[in-house]
Amino acid sequence: MNNTAYIAIFVTVLSVLEITSRSLLKEAYDKKKQLYIFISVVLYLIVVSLLYFSMKYSKFITISALWDAGTIILATGASYFILKEKITRGEFIGLGFIIFGVCIMAYSTVTSDTKT
């Protein structure tokens, strides 16, 4: 597997774990369930560990930017499909810019990987 595949896997797992952790924190606050706080902290420890190992395959800026974008996209999807929240036109346009930016970063990463 090449570095790009590893980056995609790391970013996806980081984003899913972060969304899960945030959701558990919200549930802990809303329902006063202390166990959810503990699980959330454990998930964040896994996130930090994965972030550390991901630096072997790419620059920190690339991983961080793609992770943030992935988290925004997943959070928006969860809000829309699970929580049934409406997405405004401005938010939709913003998501388009984020996806466009991710494509540019991914292309840049792939082309720089082939040069090394």
Domain of residue 14: give its range.
3-115
Average pLDDT, the chain: 88
Taking a C-beta distance cutoff of 8 angstroms, is the pair 66, 30 a contact? no
pLDDT at 82: 80
Q: Which residues contact 45 (CB under 8 A, 6 or more apart)?
A: none
> Does 114 have pLDDT greater than 80?
no
User: What does the pLDDT read at residue 8?
Assistant: 84
- Residue 65 tokens read as 């930017």
Answer yes or no: is pLDDT of 2 > 80.
no
Mean pLDDT of 27-54: 92
- Rounded to 5°, angle at Cα 74 from 65 and 84: 145
Report the distance separating Cα 21 and Cα 43, nearest Å. 6
Total domains in the chain come to: 1
